[in-house]
Amino acid sequence: MDPRVEQYQNSWRQRIPPDPSETRRIERWLATARVFLAVSTLIAIRLDPTELGHSWAAYGLFAFYLANAILILMLLRRRQESTAAFRLLVHAGDIAWPALISIFAQGARTPFFLFFFFALAAAAYRWGLWETIGTAAAEVVLLWIESFTLTHFLAGTQWWTAFTGLRVNERDATPERLFMLSVYLIVMGLLLGYLAEQQKHLRAEKAVVNRTLSRVRVEAGLNGTIEQIMGETLGMYGASSAVLAAQESHSHRIFVGEQKATGTGTAEFTWLEVKAPEARAYLDDYPGEVCHVVRQAKNSILALDQDGNSVPVADGAAIEKLRTLRPFDSVVALGFVFGKEWRGRIFFFDPVMNGDRQEELRFLLSLVRQVGPAIYNVYLLHRLRRRASAAERARVARELHDGAVQSLIAVEMQVDVLRRQADAGKPIAGELQRIQGLLREEVLKLRELMQQMKAIDVDAQRLLGVLNDTVERFQRETGISARFVTDLDELDMPQRVCRELLRIVQEGLVNVRKHSGARHALVRLGSSQDHWNLSLEDDGKGFPFSGRLSQDQMDEMGRGPMIIKERVRLIAGELTIESIPGQGSRLEVSVPRGGDGGHAL
């Protein structure tokens, strides 16, 4: 046998490890139900004591069963997990108890026959079909043993009657009656087991979908995400390789990538260089939305539409063309569509599918529908980041061209003039001073540009120190007297608010240097009961208006610093600017406390 087939001879559903938290929840639920059943039964026999035939031994057994049920519940409450041996021991008790109590309860037709069904339900809830059928068979065997023992060894004996106060009802122990009860138990075991098996399949599928979705990571990028998900599916079905073929709608370009299984896992996902005819062969009209092809005397093809219904296969030409490209014994071809931009197909070559083929193909359709949007979101985010990076690079290039490059060209021209003046013996000290000032200005602009491009990692613990350093550096580089003042010792400000307030201070100081002509600047950070308050004031020439304007008023008039206004909106703050032309201006930002800083972009 092929080692790969031998390794995957069990369905992937059977290879999924049980969830410890789910197992603990099931055991606690069963323990609670067991206590409830015992208490309800005690109430029932209290209302009708004849059900136990007034047997003191039966009442003692019931008291023991209730104590045992409470003990199991307490153990499960105290322990973090239950072992397999513990569960088997408890289940053995659930099987033995109904046969034992039925001895004292006037035969197997007693209402206490409900305990048999509880044992079946416990097996179904814990495990699945075969375990439930095995439980039903064990209960049937115990019933027959009990009946045989009562009718052939204990019937009519004086010590049994004296001990239990019961007489054996031979009519209840007839083979016909026991046969019907056995049929009831087997049928009930089949029904509960089938329902449990279906529920187990649904839980397994949910676990696989969740595990696959957890492989979708933005930081891994599109290729890394595809590699993780295809590797997960390759391992689940034991396929030898997987091929992804995708076509971009607007350019009609086709991309083909492959990932192979290895002895220890899967290799890296790699994009292939294929010729156009071969690439188009992967996107031919394959039967159905998903199909499974098994190579036999002739192809055995099962195809499903997008609703999971079987569809007739009229033409297998696409499959034959695929076989000329990649020899295979079996293959699964699965179509997908991402938005309006991408369509394609995924191929799994030589998968091991031991379950029902139609059910497996339906699951693959469901898996693609649930995981596909997550992959598409990674693609969109990756494309958005590329566009944002391109826009940022264009902005930086524009800033450099309009600022530093133009200024350096001007400096070059002035240096050339100075060279000519020096050759003519004219004084050049004044021109050198002016060039020096121009170069200093451009150095400051470049530093500000680099500061804006630098990622900020600041939180409440570091904000006060970073603000103080920013103001001191501004004073050193510009010669403008600047101070940072605060009466706060500790902050509980969200990190997002910290980051935006620092950006606001940086942008405000840049504006002071460029436009105000101020000699002094003051940055102040404080707080009230409901708000954080930041202010920046200078003694420069002020804004081109007089008075005090709110942010809404500035928006209506088309005035105010645009970048600062946008950053204030990001943290749900309020901006106010007070200006006295020729005497200076004051910028105030108020941010509500207790929020998360508005909505992230």
Cα–Cα distance, 97 to 37 (Å, whole number) = 13
Q: How confident is the model at residue 174 (pLDDT cuts 50, 70, 90)?
A: low
Boundary residue ending a domain (344, 368, 384): 384
CATH for 297? 3.30.450
Confidence at residue 170, expressed as pLDDT on a 0 to 100 scale? 46
- Mean pLDDT of all residues in 68-89: 82
pLDDT in tens, 275-298: 888 888 888 888 888 888 887 645
Q: Tally the C-alpha atoms within 13 A of residue 273's C-alpha that lie toward its C-beta.
A: 0
Residue predicted with more confidence, 236 or 171? 236
Least confident of 11-15, 63-67, 362-366, 375-379: 11-15
Confidence at residue 524, expressed as pLDDT on a 0 to 100 scale? 93
End-to-end CA, the chain: 56
Confidence at residue 600, expressed as pLDDT on a 0 to 100 scale? 38
- Mean pLDDT of all residues in 24-47: 82
Least confident of 76-85, 86-95, 144-153, 526-535: 144-153
Confidence at residue 348, expressed as pLDDT on a 0 to 100 scale? 92
- Specify if 353 maps to a domain: yes
Q: How confident is the model at residue 551 (pLDDT cuts 50, 70, 90)?
A: confident
- 129 and 156 both lie in a single domain: yes
- Mean pLDDT of all residues in 356-378: 86
**Cβ contact 263:285 at 8 Å:** no
Q: How confident is the model at residue 533 (pLDDT cuts 50, 70, 90)?
A: very high
- Mean pLDDT of all residues in 226-251: 86
pLDDT at 272 over 50: yes
pLDDT at 453 over 90: no
Boundary residue ending a domain (354, 384, 414): 384
- 376 and 229 both lie in a single domain: yes
Confidence at residue 169, expressed as pLDDT on a 0 to 100 scale? 46
- Specify if 446 maps to a domain: no
Q: What residues make up the domain containing 247? A: 220-384
Contacts of residue 370, defined as CB under 8 A and 6 or more positions apart, other chains included, come to 209, 213
Number of domains the chain is built from: 3
Q: How confident is the model at residue 209 (pLDDT cuts 50, 70, 90)?
A: confident
Q: Kindly compute the dihedral angle of the four CA atoms of residues 277, 280, 285, 290, in this order, to the nearest 10 degrees.
A: 130
pLDDT at 339 over 60: yes
pLDDT in tens, 305-320: 888 888 888 777 888 8
Q: Are strands 584-592 and 241-248 parallel, antiparallel or unpaired?
A: unpaired
- 184 and 280 both lie in a single domain: no
Contacts of residue 174, defined as CB under 8 A and 6 or more positions apart, other chains included, come to none
pLDDT at 232 over 70: yes
Least confident of 103-117, 421-435, 455-469: 103-117
pLDDT at 4 over 60: no
CATH for 531? 3.30.565.10
- 137 and 252 both lie in a single domain: no
- 250 and 170 both lie in a single domain: no
Confidence at residue 54, expressed as pLDDT on a 0 to 100 scale? 54
Mean of the per-residue pLDDT values of the chain: 79
Confidence at residue 455, expressed as pLDDT on a 0 to 100 scale? 53
Region of 215 on the Ramachandran plot (φ > 0 left; ψ -120 to 50 alpha; else beta): alpha
Cα–Cα distance, 227 to 220 (Å, whole number) = 10
- 235 and 367 both lie in a single domain: yes
Residue predicted with more confidence, 80 or 534? 534
Backbone angles phi, psi at 348, to 5 degrees: -115, 115
pLDDT at 490 over 70: yes
Of the ranges 262-266, 327-331, 519-523, which is most confident? Answer: 519-523
- 184 and 47 both lie in a single domain: yes
Distance of CA 12 to the CA centre of its chain: 21
Cα–Cα distance, 96 to 141 (Å, whole number) = 11
- Specify if 281 maps to a domain: yes
Confidence at residue 601, expressed as pLDDT on a 0 to 100 scale? 35
In eight-state DSSP terms, residue 53 is T
- 261 and 153 both lie in a single domain: no
Cα–Cα distance, 302 to 283 (Å, whole number) = 18
Of the ranges 131-145, 289-303, 418-432, which is most confident? Answer: 131-145
Boundary residue ending a domain (164, 183, 211): 211
pLDDT at 597 over 70: no
Cα–Cα distance, 248 to 252 (Å, whole number) = 5
Q: Are strands 481-486 and 520-527 parallel, antiparallel or unpaired?
A: parallel
pLDDT at 416 over 60: yes
- 178 and 246 both lie in a single domain: no
**Cβ contact 291:333 at 8 Å:** yes
- Specify if 143 maps to a domain: yes
pLDDT in tens, 83-131: 888 888 888 888 888 777 766 655 444 556 778 888 888 888 888 888 8
Q: How confident is the model at residue 53 (pLDDT cuts 50, 70, 90)?
A: low
Least confident of 369-383, 409-423, 533-547: 409-423
Q: How many residues does the chain have?
A: 601
> 81: closest CA among 3, 27, 153?
27
- Percentage, residues of the chain above pLDDT 70: 77
- Specify if 399 maps to a domain: no
- Specify if 601 maps to a domain: no
**Cβ contact 474:510 at 8 Å:** no
**Cβ contact 531:591 at 8 Å:** yes
Of the ranges 3-7, 315-319, 521-525, which is most confident? Answer: 521-525
Q: How confident is the model at residue 153 (pLDDT cuts 50, 70, 90)?
A: low
Cα–Cα distance, 45 to 34 (Å, whole number) = 17
Question: What angle is formed at CA 108 by the lines to CA 105 and CA 113, rounded to 5 degrees?
Answer: 85
Q: How confident is the model at residue 449 (pLDDT cuts 50, 70, 90)?
A: low
- Specify if 482 maps to a domain: yes
Least confident of 69-73, 81-85, 419-423: 419-423
- 186 and 45 both lie in a single domain: yes
Task: Provide the edge-to-edge strand list for the sheet that holds 547-550.
Answer: 481-486, 520-527, 531-538, 584-592, 574-580, 547-550
- Specify if 397 maps to a domain: no
- 184 and 259 both lie in a single domain: no
- 152 and 187 both lie in a single domain: yes
